[in-house]
Chains A and B, each alone.
Chain A
Amino acid sequence: MKRLIFILILLSGSCYAVDSRQLSDPKQQESYETLTKELRCLVCQNQTIADSNAELASDLRRQVSEMLAQGKSKEEIVQFMTDRYGDFVLYKPAFKGKTLLLWIAPIAFLVIGLIAVLLVIRSKKAKEKLTSDTEALQSDTEKQKKIRSLLDNGEVS
């Protein structure tokens, strides 16, 4: 019973889904859906305007749908938003001087990490080889000693 209530509570979230807008042209509807998923709601910063229930998100959804209905292109709408809210409104910021670090940093860290791993593996391997070599050398000298002592004593048992 408890579990059932819990599941019902989880499901109830979908009752409060945001008021998505419908456009008559399916192509515009598609642009509407991609755009609202790429624009950040500035009030609740970790949600897109498609996800957010905030008033501002709803106003921005209205703005996007109106501009699409007016025949504006996606680029024009993105420009409209960045003119007003800055690059921060974009979940996918443009690739330019100011945002370069944002794009490059993850790749740079990956490369640094890979190099570090390679170096560690290499130094470990070199160490292992050294120890196995010395071991082999040691057992060689022991054998030689035995042979010599056998030859010196002149007896083969």
Chain B
Amino acid sequence: MLKYIIPLVLFIIMAVFLGLGLTLNPSEIPSPFINKPTPNFSAPKLNAPQEKLTPADLKGQVWLFNVWASWCVSCRSEHPVLNDLAKLNAVTIIGLNYKDDPVDAKKWLDTLGNPYNISIMDQEGRIGIDYGVYGVPETFVIDKKGVIRYKQTGPVTVVDLQKTLIPLLDKLQAEPQ
């Protein structure tokens, strides 16, 4: 009897582990930034390169930091969702135009709409490294104190908006400064 039970038990254990493995997404890497202050930057604005933006300018407001580029295919599917979010006026949306040509970037915003309050340029990808960006698009949610509270790798979908982002933004907007 034991002869049959042992392999059966081993099989079940293996099946459970492999089953769990199937549901995980190996390209999703836990971000070491959650609940840490935003890394600093001082970057030129896309529409006014002589002006610079730093995280300190955004203290006191909840903001979304969305990494995008005109060469990024999945950003195109994400873009209408961001446009919808912008219409809600629920949050300040800052774009990090990552390793992009400013001309292409502006053309992209002109044709597809501009959900960003401000976009900044990171042509060399240095701000990207400081934020641990490895797959565009990425989205960070930053609270009023300048602390990163959430990060999503990959395009934000309508479901993500409804299930995760909007409830989180509501909660953060209610927090004191």
- Measuring CB to CB, which residues of chain A are less than 8 angstroms from any residue of chain B? 42-43, 45, 55-56, 59-60, 63, 82-86, 88
| CB-defined contacts of A86 to chain B, threshold 8 Å | 29-32, 132
State which residues 113-135 of B face A: CB under 8 Å.
124-126, 128-135
Contact with A along B24-45 (1 / 0, CB 8 A): 0011011110000000000000
Q: Does B99 touch A at the CB level, under 8 Å?
A: yes
Asked whether A84 and B129 contact (CB < 8 A) given A42-B29, A55-B99, the answer is yes
30 A-B pairs, CB-CB below 8 angstroms?
A42-B29, A42-B134, A43-B134, A43-B135, A45-B27, A55-B99, A55-B125, A56-B125, A56-B133, A56-B134, A59-B124, A59-B125, A59-B126, A59-B129, A60-B129, A63-B129, A82-B32, A83-B32, A84-B32, A84-B129, A84-B130, A84-B131, A84-B132, A85-B29, A85-B32, A85-B134, A86-B29, A86-B132, A88-B29, A88-B30
B124, B130, B132 pick with most chain A CB within 10 angstroms: B132
| CB-defined contacts of B135 to chain A, threshold 8 Å | 42-43
| CB-defined contacts of B31 to chain A, threshold 8 Å | 86
- Measuring CB to CB, which residues of chain B are less than 8 angstroms from any residue of chain A? 26-27, 29-32, 99, 124-126, 128-135
Docked pose: A55 CA to B124 CA in angstroms: 10
CB distance from B35 to the nearest CB of A (A): 14
Docked pose: A108 CA to B124 CA in angstroms: 45
| CB-defined contacts of B126 to chain A, threshold 8 Å | 59
Docked pose: A55 CA to B131 CA in angstroms: 16
Q: Secondary structure of the B side of the interface? A: loop
| CB-defined contacts of A85 to chain B, threshold 8 Å | 29, 32, 132, 134
| CB-defined contacts of B128 to chain A, threshold 8 Å | 56, 59
Docked pose: A60 CA to B27 CA in angstroms: 18
Docked pose: A42 CA to B26 CA in angstroms: 11
CB distance from A118 to the nearest CB of B (A): 17
Nearest-neighbor residue (CB-CB) of B39 within chain A: A84
Shortest beta-carbon contacts, A-B, top 10: A42-B134, A84-B132, A86-B32, A59-B125, A88-B29, A85-B132, A56-B134, A86-B30, A43-B134, A63-B129
Nearest-neighbor residue (CB-CB) of B30 within chain A: A86
Q: With A56-B133, A82-B32 given, name 13 new contacts (CB 8 A).
A: A42-B134, A43-B135, A45-B26, A55-B99, A56-B134, A59-B124, A60-B129, A83-B32, A84-B129, A84-B131, A86-B29, A86-B31, A86-B132
| CB-defined contacts of B26 to chain A, threshold 8 Å | 45
Docked pose: A34 CA to B31 CA in angstroms: 25
CB distance from A62 to the nearest CB of B (A): 8
Nearest-neighbor residue (CB-CB) of A60 within chain B: B129
B27, B130, B134 pick with most chain A CB within 10 angstroms: B134
| CB-defined contacts of A55 to chain B, threshold 8 Å | 99, 125
Docked pose: A42 CA to B128 CA in angstroms: 13
CB distance from B10 to the nearest CB of A (A): 11
Docked pose: A55 CA to B128 CA in angstroms: 12
Docked pose: A82 CA to B31 CA in angstroms: 10
CB distance from B132 to the nearest CB of A (A): 4
| CB-defined contacts of A84 to chain B, threshold 8 Å | 32, 129-132
